[in-house]
Structure 1
């Protein structure tokens, strides 16, 4: 390795560690915002038959299992995105938490806002009825995470980490009437 390149890399690493927020998040245990196969605890895997609908939950969890969130929240912006590897999801129905107001959509970003401070151990944001469209049976990773800064009651924007869910798709994808464009496209990947 060239000495100048090595020293530049070291400077970048040091800047990240000293910069407020950047390096700090690497060493803290952060609250978690993501998808789960359970509405009350983080469950990271769900097995489904292709072409059949199933349920996922968008939730905010504490930094560890059983730990409270640790922040009084007002606004939680969240979005669902694919992490790996070639499947698409159709969102068939969304049931939002009625305690919050919601603006947006799960695939482009939802801003879930409360009229009062929410200081809880767990926060359910939405229940999603979805269908996976995968080119073949296998494991596909989807996640939800912050779409923007989560806002606390005092106006601070704490760091949150996203949470994935592994969708284990079984069977073959077969096109039939009523399939979405995403499901048809997935057949040809």
Structure 2
């Protein structure tokens, strides 16, 4: 078995102002870090993560706080799996939220289809929403270091949303063509 290595950051920052603590927490979560407990987090050992955590360490010191950055390895495979499971659980939580947004996207297309609201403006709005979904999934995927269980389902749902929007787009094009043929011109 290849030895898994992580970067372990422990930090303590002053309670006030709280916005600085929250910004630090968000930055670390944005890197994909998992928290073992308050002020103790891990990231897989990569050069990119090392650079990012050195910057965080510097920021903590700038907040009049304390930080220690260490390289860490599990004692045995069971310990490694506990940590990997935490990473996967965090990503699955994000994938679940993503899947909920896919539900919202699908419901929006269904609502517009039911109302026969086939306009370019609505198509453009839904296209923007789909691009947001794509960007969000890509961000989650980049932080999915260990292959979370819901990754495949999230990719499939995004593909389904793309197909749904394509179908809606064809209906918009047909409705607009029908309107022009009937002498209605383009939509205002």
Q: Give the TM-score normalised by structure 2.
A: 0.23
Structure having the higher helix fraction is 2
Q: Give the TM-score normalised by structure 1.
A: 0.23
Structure having the higher strand fraction is 1
| Higher alpha-carbon Rg | 2
